Structure 1
Amino acid sequence: MTKLESTLQPIRKELIGDLEGSILEVGSGTGTNFKHYNAKAKVIALEPSSFMLDKSKAKLPKKTQITTYNMGIGDKRLDSIIKNNSLDYIICTLVLCTIPDQNLALDKFKKWLKPTGKLIVLEHIHAQNKPNRLLYNMVNPLWKIVGDGCNLNRDTDLSIKKAGFKVESEHYFKKALGFYQAVFTVSSSK
């Protein structure tokens, strides 16, 4: 486990460990979050990379209800898997940087979440100061190739708010990159 991931593990556990109900995990990657879900969580885990999905299946805990799907958020088949107003939670941990159309994803999240549902995120975000913002913008084209579609220069925190989600709690912190953890509710103007 990397030093960064050892820092993020307690945050992941805090964000998702007590959740119950219908949950969508977007971009489940290698299954890093799987061990944190409790037995009352019914998780739909999406991962567009079959390589990553194979790694995650090896981490499926026995006492959890996690169903994996090899598809991305833009896959039209999701409409038959996820009904409108059906999810209690949507989990995004280090994934919104890679989704090609972040706004489309956020619109789908609002549609899928119950009126009482919550969007829970742990994401790296664009640098806050001008010199680092310039650096991130310069490095991003190469980083995106090396990082399998990861964008260093997304203001994901602001994008979620602009999409109409309301902040319930948020925390900014720095570990090599700027990070953002937050819980959002669906705005009543849905």
Structure 2
Amino acid sequence: MSSSNYYKFLFSRFYDPFMHSIEMKELTHRRERLLSPLDGTILEIGSGTGINLPFYSTNTKVFALEPNPHMWEIIEKKRHYTCNLEPIVKGIEDPEVQMRFTEPFFDSVVCTLVLCNVPDLRNTFRFIEKVLKVGGKLVLLEHIRSHSNFSAGIQDFFSPSWKFFADGCNLNRETDKVVKEFDFKLEWEEYFSISLPFYSAIYEKQ
């Protein structure tokens, strides 16, 4: 096993224990509120250990993008979902993904704690804009760069080292601002804090 592959293996095993307290106190109920109303065909970008999957209804088909194969080992062990799941062991910018989905196809696109990690945030929103049907939902649950200059400066300072240790995670992505550059209509949003500032929102494709 290469060093990079071993790192991905370790990251997959430590992720759930590391996040457990935050999930139970702050995130699980938000995930359920955001995801349980969705139906139809869903694209989930960055499925991780499958923490969202139990909240999708049985009448959904979820195309789940997750490039780390060790995360899929965790998902298969859990088997805790009832949606129709199609695993895609690729990232959002993989050429196979870009070539497979080229027109409006999805009723919803879900991004939870992943947009900090994608190679290019604006390219990701362009892709979502392309593959989401008119009237379709974009669901976000992400940590973001603080609106406080002092706190944002701290995030900017620590982001390079955090990115190295946290599998590419950027602490200081302005996701809540960048999404508004695209053709999505805001339906609902919430700002909250868990050590880091977080942003939860539902947008509709115009």
TM-score range, shorter chain: over 0.9
Q: In 2, Cα distance between the equivalents of 1:85 and 1:176?
A: 37
Matched position secondary structure for 1:77: helix
Q: CA RMSD in A?
A: 1.4
Tell me which moved more, 58-67 or 22-31.
58-67
What is the CA distance between 1:79 and its match in structure 2?
4.1
When the two structures are aligned, how many residues end up with a matched partner? 187
In the alignment, what sits opposite 2:54? Answer: 35
In the alignment, what sits opposite 1:68? Answer: 87
Structure richer in helix, relative to its length:
2
Q: Which of 18, 24, 28 is the aligned partner of 1:9?
A: 28
Tell me which moved more, 90-99 or 46-55.
46-55
In the alignment, what sits opposite 2:156? Answer: 137
Checking the alignment, whether the CA contact within 8 Å between 1:25 and 1:44 is kept in structure 2 is: yes
In the alignment, what sits opposite 1:166? Answer: 185
What is the CA distance between 1:17 and its match in structure 2?
1.0
Q: Which of 92, 109, 114 is the aligned partner of 2:128?
A: 109
Q: Structure 2 unaligned runs (5+)? A: 1-16
Q: TM-score, normalised by structure 2?
A: 0.86
Q: Structure 1 unaligned runs (5+)? A: none
Q: In 1, Cα distance between the equivalents of 2:52 and 2:78?
A: 9
What is the CA distance between 1:80 and its match in structure 2?
5.0
What is the CA distance between 1:61 and its match in structure 2?
3.4
Q: In 2, Cα distance between the equivalents of 1:186 and 1:175?
A: 29
Matched position secondary structure for 2:23: helix
What is the CA distance between 1:25 and its match in structure 2?
0.4
Q: Percent identity of the aligned residues? A: 37
Q: In 1, Cα distance between the equivalents of 2:81 and 2:151?
A: 44
AA of the residue aligned to 1:4: I
Are residues 99 and 79 of structure 1, via their aligned partners in 2, closer, same or farther at CA, if it must alter by over 3 Å?
closer
What is the CA distance between 1:83 and its match in structure 2?
4.7
Superposition pairs for residues 50-89 of structure 1, below 5 Å? 50-61=69-80, 63-79=82-98, 81-89=100-108
Are residues 57 and 165 of structure 1, via their aligned partners in 2, closer, same or farther at CA, if it must alter by over 3 Å?
same
Superposition pairs for residues 146-165 of structure 1, below 5 Å? 146-165=165-184
What is the CA distance between 1:56 and its match in structure 2?
1.9
What is the CA distance between 1:175 and its match in structure 2?
1.2
Q: TM-score, normalised by structure 1?
A: 0.93
